[in-house]
Structure 1
Amino acid sequence: MRMGEGSMEENIRYEARQLCLKLSEQGDAQSRDIADSLTVSVANIICSMVFGKRYDYDDVKFVELTKIINKQVAKYGSSQLMTVFSFLRFMPGVNSSNRILVECIDEVHAFLRQEITKHRETLDNENPRDFIDLLLTEQQTQEHTDCFTEDNIVWIIQDLFVAGMGTTANTLRWGLLYIVLCPEEQQKVQAELDSVLGTDHDVPTLAHRSQPPYTEATIMEIQRIRAIAPLSGPHAPNEDTTFRGYDIPAGTQVLPNLWSAHMDPEFWPDPEKFDPRRFLDSDGKVITRPESFMPFSTGRRVCLGEQLAKMELFLLFSSLLKHFTLKLPEGAAPPSTDGCMGITLVPPRVNMCITKR
């Protein structure tokens, strides 16, 4: 996660270049939805870490895999009722979400097992190439391999994709949606990036991250106004707890309501208004730890991918706005900002006119 050569920064910057190249090749003659391209970009960043390689934007098999993972995440949300009332799994019609979820998981696992098999055939324990190699090497050193099986490895890798792909891609999609709805904010970000990067046609680096405060504040406002995981992940107290007068027995499942924190008018006046200035102090500097802002949850089980996600959001978002201007097609109705709730809050698909700057 460090900066510079040989780090994840270089993989993210490479993917940002490929995304900008892909959008440039498509031209700006007509409006289009770039949700799939954003998803492939973010998925490729995970792939570079896990598989040691990336996939082309036109790779039919890989694009289909990303769609299956997105469907899987959506079905996690609609099948949650069955985790509470397990008998619903046996009710025809009602259990369709669970059946589709299982099918998606099986397809993703089949893809991952193929990659694991390829890695095992060419494994060099002294020179691990990626995360799969590290897992396979670790598996060989375990005294009790029944605790670290290939099934475990498959689920670990799937968790990286499920947790790290849709969350970041959908945050970027929310960001572009609000940018086209608020063109004055887009202009402010672009002017700031131009002042920092000048005429450099390459993508930004993490060294630039502290220099454009309005850009960083805009990303934070995107995360606030549409918390990508409104109910975070399930937690449970280790011991009997009392919170604000409520008794919570040990082991009780607790869902932190991050949406409530991000939309609390006591901390965020007019919370439905998109306003990056919320995250700037009187000197124009970024407020690094504002109250009632926790896009990656909080506490000891805060999101493990927070640092990687912040790197991705800055590098991909700033690269897109440095190289392109985005707007809605002439006469198009403003898209809804309600979103669709599953495990994550997914924005609507939006056709945009994307013009090279």
Structure 2
Amino acid sequence: MVFLGLLLLLLTLLAGARLLWGQWKLRSLRLPPLVPGFLHLLRPNLPIYLLGLTQRLGPIYRLRLGLQDVVVLNSKGAIEEALVRKWVDFAGRPQTPSYKLVSGHCQDISLGDYSLFWKAHKKLTRSALLLGVRSSMEPWVEQLTQEFCERMRARAGAPVTIQKEFSVLTCSIICYLTFGDKVEGNTLVHALHDCVQDLMQTWEHWSIQMLDVVPFLRFLPSPGLWRLKQAIENRDHLVEKQLRRHKESMVAGQWRDMTDYMLQGVGRHRAEEGPGRLLEGHVHMSVVDLFIGGTETTANTLSWAVVYLLHHPEIQWRLQEELDRELGPGASGSRVPYKDRARLPLLNATIAEVLRLRPVVPLALPHQATRTSSIFGYDIPKGTVVIPNLQGAHLDETVWEQPHEFRPDRFLAPGANPSALAFGCGARVCLGEPLARLELFVVLVQLLQAFTLLPPPEGALPSLQPHPHSGINLKVRPFQVRLQPRGAKAQGPGERRDQ
């Protein structure tokens, strides 16, 4: 016990000395203003708290997360200067202990640091997503969404915990695009869904977050770290099994899914020399990225859309009116191809407004300066961690009128920019954005064609406030919704408010 106490004291003294030495080296630079305190990470609704600090510090400032200084960007102008105009300077990714574990020691696109490996890896995965499955992507999303609606129709009128249903749906879409035509039925889908849930919950636990901001804690016993390693081992076992199946049955020059496409792409790279050569481990981590980045993010956005439509039944009524006008009333078999989505301007505006208020990953993932640079005239030394507060930028009162209000019509005005920053920007923009936007469009079209969204019988509306400690994603508080088949004798979405 005495030895453990002395070790902890020594590590604390070394960390303090390192912090003081770092501050001394930066004494001649013009740095962003520093927020006092060390425990900012524990604040509830962190993106909103960070936005509030801009009132006295401006849109860019520094704060300490544990022993680490980070720079926070809270405006669209500051974020775009760093990530678009100076993207090379800020394309890095900090390599925290949990990032190294989850990313397969830097073979991951989302968490891997910027390098020639990373560029080649990103190019291969993007090609697989946009070229390898381009022809099958929309039909798969439509078919799986139709099956989802049929399952919901069997539970018509009963309260449904729709977040979980959306989560299984989005996992199914990723599974079939990645691993093929309903391989192993629903067994694989549910195994992967449970695996992703377990990994994300373990990764976001406070003990792992503290490990990242105070790295020397990894030398101490940590049940949370053990559980994270177990979740990663389970994840890798499931993915490796599918990679083996693909390698055994793959036909050269043909691909059935994204995994075939990427494995053959790696095969072509094997003959090449140089630092950009890819390995099968990169395919493994591309698959992991697709499941972690493409399941809960899209499911959360769909859940937020339902929450806002329950609070704004007049918008739901207008959306259904728009669908009926384009497709005919009750035309459950009709569709609007995604390339023709401009035919549904209010739906597109509603999706944009949900993404503005509740962006996919509100604080993005942290960037790191690859070399000394500047943002808004402030010096940013090499190695500085930069956090883009996307949600804060979306709530900037100098840009958005009544920014906290749900007003889809703001995106119907001429010159409105529906893309905003919901999926990030620059070199690190989310690779899954095209798929996510397709899913949001198709699922909401079919859902609103088939059902009217109503609160539970007791009339309790879900909270518009996110879970106070959401982690990476901005989580909806648990809620239920009734899915009333359209055409059935029931209250319309606009009738309840007048009672």
TM-score, length basis structure 1 = 0.89
| TM-fit CA distance, 1:343 | 1.1
Alignment of 1:79-118 (within 5 A): 79-92=208-221, 95-118=222-245
Q: Give the Cα separation in 2 of the matches to 1:275 and 1:8.
A: 31
Of residues 248, 251, 265, the one that matches 2:380 is 248
- Aligned pairs for 1:311-350 within 5 A: 311-340=438-467, 341-350=470-479
| Partner SS, residue 387 of structure 2 | coil
* Equivalent in 332, 338, 347 of residue 201 of structure 1: 332
Output aligned runs, 1:1-357, within 5 Å: 1=130, 6-28=135-157, 30-54=158-182, 59=186, 62-78=189-205, 79-92=208-221, 95-141=222-268, 142-143=270-271, 148-199=278-329, 200-202=331-333, 203-281=335-413, 287-288=416-417, 293-340=420-467, 341-357=470-486
Q: How many Å separate the matches in 2 of 1:311 and 1:119?
A: 27
Q: How far does the alpha carbon of each residue in 1:179-225 deviate from its partner, in whole angstroms, 9 at most, with x for none?
A: 11221111111111111111422243214410111111111111011
Percent identity for Structure 1 against Structure 2 = 31
Shift of 1:347: 0.9
- Computing the radius of gyration from Cα coordinates, the structure with the larger value is 2
Q: Report the Cα offset of residue 263 of structure 1.
A: 1.2
Unpaired runs of 5+ residues, structure 2, are: 1-129, 487-499
Moved more, 34-43 or 134-143: 134-143
Q: 1:277 and 1:68 mapped to 2: Cα distance?
A: 39
Q: Deviations over 1:95-130 (max 9, x none)?
A: 343333222222121111111111122121122211
User: Is the Cα contact below 8 Å between 2:171 and 2:189 reproduced in 1?
Assistant: no
Comparing 146-155 with 103-112, greater Cα deviation is found at 146-155
Contact 2:204 2:472 in 1 (8 A): yes
Q: 1:5, 1:307 → 2: CA distance?
A: 11
**What amino acid maps onto 1:271 in structure 2?**
P
Counterpart residue type for residue 288 of structure 2: Q
**CA distance in 2 between partners of 1:188 and 1:313 (Å):** 18
Instruction: Indicate if the aligned counterparts of 1:73 and 1:342 stay in contact, CA closer than 8 A.
Output: no
CA distance in 2, matches of 1:60, 1:305: 24
Partner amino acid for 1:87?
F
Do the aligned partners of 1:13 and 1:204 also contact (CA within 8 Å) in 2? no
1:73·1:344 contact (CA, 8 Å) conserved in 2?
no
Distance 1:26 1:331, change over 3 A: closer
Query: How far off its partner does 1:289 sit?
Result: 5.0
Indicate if the aligned counterparts of 2:171 and 2:193 stay in contact, CA closer than 8 A.
yes
Contact kept, 8 Å, 2:176 with 2:183, in 1: the verdict is no
Give the superposition deviation at 1:248.
Answer: 0.8
Displacement of 1:152 after TM fit? 2.9
> Residues 172 and 189 of structure 2 are in contact (CA less than 8 Å); yes or no, is this contact kept in structure 1?
no
Number of equivalent positions: 347
Unaligned 5+ residue runs, structure 1?
Answer: none
Q: Which moved more, 1:59-68 or 1:252-261?
A: 59-68
Which residue identity does 1:318 align to in structure 2?
V
> Normalised by the size of structure 2, how large is the TM-score?
0.65
